[in-house]
Structure 1
Amino acid sequence: VEVFEVHYDSLDGVRIAGWYCLPRHRTAPLPAVVFYPGYISEPTFPKSHAAKGYATFGAAPRGKLRSNSQVNPGYPGLLAHDIIDRNTYAYKGFYVDAWRVIDFLLEQPEIDNSRIGIRGSSQGGALTLLTAAMRPEVAVAAAGAPYLAGVMDAIALTNTYPYQEINDYLRQHPDSRDAIAATWSYYDCHNFVDRIRCPIIVNIGLQDNVCPPETGYEVFKRIGSTDKQLYPYDGHAHDAGSFHHEAVIDRFFAQHLQPQG
């Protein structure tokens, strides 16, 4: 496997980095899989999937990897950063960074542009849903324990972080609830996923106290694709059954992307 640190420009001139992995012995064109990161985690280093015949990209939106010298609201901090203004809210650039990965892949001569898959869990699950909604080039998607879905409900359903960042903000600024709700009407996954058309699978943990399963069920119901399947895992919390579900994702991507590993 060959590993490259790559860079691209995103919103407001922020320079974004990521890990790009390719099978060493390859015949182009290759299918590609993007891995979106969780809230506090750095980008994954997706070498093992490159060994299976995929070009893989470990995405690092602003505040992660090399860009944290340019944008760094902190963890905790990102969820509530500039939250009362939709035009400057921290997730505006974050979302664009995630979408711009697709542009990078489309420019690579070794990539089959008709075979691009995306995946992630928690915040990565949210970015997967959002990118599948906004980038029609995505051929297949797998979202786990989706975060940023039904946010104004989620802050009442759970008392854990990161959602508690919003409740912390509301305790300090009790008159800001309407402004926060207005901002989130532009960013909530619920208001994007009806645009998804590609095959997609979603897994949730029924005992998840970080991203409540109620919001997972609701966002799945709103997905516009007619080729969708939900995997609810009883007895699992925010891991959303990932130990068992990884094999499901592997089969799903192999079926749709057909790597030559």
Structure 2
Amino acid sequence: MAHFDLPLDQLRAYRSSATAPADFDDFWARTLAESRAAGWEPRLERVDAGLELVDVHDVTFAGFGGDAIRAWWQAPADRAPKAVVVELVGYSGGRGFAHDTGPYPLAGYARLVVDTRGQGWSHGSAGGATADPHGTGSQAPGVMTRGIGSRETYYYRRAYTDSALAVDVARKLAPGVAVFVAGTSQGGGLAIAAAALADDVAGALPDVPFLCDFPRATTLVDTMPYGEIRMYLAAHRDEVESVYRTLSYFDGVGLAARATAPAVFSTALMDATCPPSTVFGAFNAWAGEDKSIEVYPFNGHEGGTGYQREAQLRWLRERVG
């Protein structure tokens, strides 16, 4: 796809029109307090993943409402980790295989890769191992409109809470060590939420993040997964106002405005899945002053791939030493 969004100079100045409701902070404070009250100690089981340089444990921890969430804990085998990276997963993906470590453990960091509840149906790996036990009314295929009739029942209330509580778990597994949050696409949106909602996150690495600037994203592109919302509203024509009211509690723009940790974003100017203006909407709203964004002018939703991994590892080294 050719460039279809705003020119780069306008993207750098772009400010989203998305606004957080007046009770946004109270809603999230209550949600997290209720889930922490329902929590329990994480359970770990060592796994033989066939690796010599990385130790792997199967982790089960308490997410939203005390629901069981699965994750892999992957840490350098011969040393204490320099930091922890909580990695959130892209849309439809799962935590994958125990031996799918990525570069972080090899660079000296522990990695907590978190299953996304109710997903894991693609990406060509082991898929997901975490159910979403909560029911819903009418929805389009996928999870974008699951429970969208109310902020209380919306799917991403649970997924964002799971992501924030994963930071708590990382601190228990590596006490006193800095915790970063990272992810690509949906994982990037979840990383923004975790950085905003969890306490004292050391940094965030949202890569071509999804779930940002819903009013613009859902009217600028009809690609999936944003297309699920369009599909739902095409059938539920009397729910437009209530749907956008629900989404306002989960917009990455509003969450970014509450995130103060250092951050490195990325965007691709031909990305028709997560349009660059929606990424810049969250980036420009980010409350922390220590922030940067990598721009890939001729890429789509794949973004920078290996180039971005290199930039992220360099960024982490600068902050961890």
- Does TM, normalized by the shorter one, top 0.5? yes
Out of 224, 232, 238, the residue aligned to residue 169 of structure 1 is: 232
* Structure 2: unaligned runs, 5 residues or longer: 1-53, 120-127
CA–CA separation in structure 2 for the residues paired with 1:75 and 1:84: 13
Determine if the alignment matches structure 1 residue 15 to structure 2 residue 80: no
What letter is aligned with 2:167? I
- Please say if residues 93 and 116 of structure 2, whose CA atoms lie closer than 8 Å, have aligned partners that are also in contact: no
Out of 86, 90, 97, the residue aligned to residue 34 of structure 1 is: 86
CA–CA separation in structure 1 for the residues paired with 2:132 and 2:221: 32
Q: What is the TM-score when the length of structure 2 is the normalising length?
A: 0.75
Alignment map for 1:62-81 (pairs within 5 Å): 62-64=117-119, 65-68=128-131, 70=133, 76-81=141-146
SS at match of 2:113: strand
Determine if the alignment matches structure 1 residue 112 to structure 2 residue 185: no
SS at match of 1:152: helix
Question: How far did 1:41 drift?
Answer: 1.2
Residue 190 of structure 2 corresponds to which residue in structure 1? Answer: 127
What letter is aligned with 1:193? A
Residue 49 of structure 1 corresponds to which residue in structure 2? Answer: 104
Q: 1:223 to 1:102 in 2, by over 3 A?
A: same
Determine if the alignment matches structure 1 residue 203 to structure 2 residue 203: no
SS at match of 1:244: helix
Residue 34 of structure 2 corresponds to which residue in structure 1? Answer: none
Out of 157, 165, 169, the residue aligned to residue 100 of structure 1 is: 165
Question: How far did 1:47 drift?
Answer: 5.2
CA–CA separation in structure 1 for the residues paired with 2:89 and 2:175: 22
What letter is aligned with 1:197? T
Q: 1:104 to 1:185 in 2, by over 3 A?
A: same
Out of 275, 288, 293, the residue aligned to residue 225 of structure 1 is: 288
SS at match of 2:261: coil
Q: 1:124 to 1:69 in 2, by over 3 A?
A: closer
Q: Deviations over 1:202-252 (max 9, x none)?
A: 100100000111111111110011100111110001112223111100100
* Structure 1: unaligned runs, 5 residues or longer: none
User: After the TM superposition, which of the residue ranges 227-236 and 73-82 deviates more from structure 2?
Assistant: 73-82
- Please say if residues 63 and 71 of structure 1, whose CA atoms lie closer than 8 Å, have aligned partners that are also in contact: no
Question: How far did 1:71 drift?
Answer: 5.4
Determine if the alignment matches structure 1 residue 184 to structure 2 residue 256: no
Residue 218 of structure 2 corresponds to which residue in structure 1? Answer: 155
- Please say if residues 11 and 93 of structure 1, whose CA atoms lie closer than 8 Å, have aligned partners that are also in contact: yes
- Please say if residues 62 and 94 of structure 1, whose CA atoms lie closer than 8 Å, have aligned partners that are also in contact: yes
Q: 1:147 to 1:69 in 2, by over 3 A?
A: closer
More strand by share: 1
Question: How far did 1:20 drift?
Answer: 0.4
SS at match of 2:201: coil
CA–CA separation in structure 2 for the residues paired with 1:251 and 1:178: 43
CA–CA separation in structure 2 for the residues paired with 1:100 and 1:132: 11
Residue 84 of structure 1 corresponds to which residue in structure 2? Answer: 149
Out of 243, 246, 253, the residue aligned to residue 309 of structure 2 is: 246
CA–CA separation in structure 2 for the residues paired with 1:33 and 1:246: 13
CA–CA separation in structure 1 for the residues paired with 2:68 and 2:213: 30
What letter is aligned with 1:184? L
- Please say if residues 104 and 111 of structure 2, whose CA atoms lie closer than 8 Å, have aligned partners that are also in contact: yes
Q: What is the TM-score when the length of structure 1 is the normalising length?
A: 0.92
> Which portions of structure 1, spanning 4 or more consecutive aligned residues, are displaced by more than 6 angstroms?
72-75
